[in-house]
Amino acid sequence: MSSTFKDFVFRTRSAMLLLLYSATIVRTELSCGHIDAYVKHQVVLVNAQCYHLAQDAVSWNDAVTRCRLNNGTLASIPDLTVNTALIKLSTNLDYSNLANVSFYWIGGKVDSIVTGVTWLRDPGTGFVAFNDGEPQGSAEFGCLMLDPGAGGWATDMCVASLELAGYICEYPGKERALPAGDTPQPGSHAGAESLMEAGVVCFCITIAMITRRLGEQLV
């Protein structure tokens, strides 16, 4: 094997090691650590969105304002996965004596029985999860709340401050650096850097195969 080829192999392997090392230190995951929740267990990450189950009893209208003041929105529920996760968290809070409320305003309103639900931030999925007998109201009587005990949604007056009705604010998940060797937490999405890592690994494997084949041919 020529000295030139040996030098090429050495440089290639060195480059692969550097690429692999850099890939392991730039991985990220989405988290909800940026949300200022009094109790962190009030927050859940689902489908790259953070949901905070606030325990203050306010009206639907006031809940909209409070979420916006914190750079969020009153939560949309786009699918069964999110609905189930929110019910599970609310139930866990209740069983752990960490809940002050039993229901939670969400960011939808029944405009009319014909037109259905309008969301503050439309998920565009058409998903609904009304309890039996709902919706009972529309317009200013049709604001949605999550009813964990029944597993679905109910409606009530938008201006009513109900003693047992908190609210759910929604925020985008925020990327945080993932230390080398760690894996993303359940419910989080690895960032674009993780995709880059996969590409780097594939590139290194390809180069290794090429150099090996060249070495076999030149021996």
Cα torsion angle, 47, 52, 58, 63, sign: negative
Name all domains of the chain by residue range, CATH numbers in brackets: 29-177 (3.10.100.10)
Pseudo-torsion of CA 82, 131, 168, 148, nearest 10°?
Answer: -80
Per-residue pLDDT tens for 166-211?
999 999 988 766 555 555 555 554 444 444 455 555 555 656 566 5
Per-residue pLDDT tens for 68-124?
999 999 999 999 999 999 999 999 999 999 999 999 999 999 988 777 899 999 888
Residue 92 CA to residue 95 CA, distance in Å, equals 5
Q: Which run of H or E residues covers position 171?
A: strand 165-172
- The total number of residues shown for the chain amounts to 219
Q: Give the global pTM.
A: 0.71
Residue 100 CA to residue 103 CA, distance in Å, equals 10
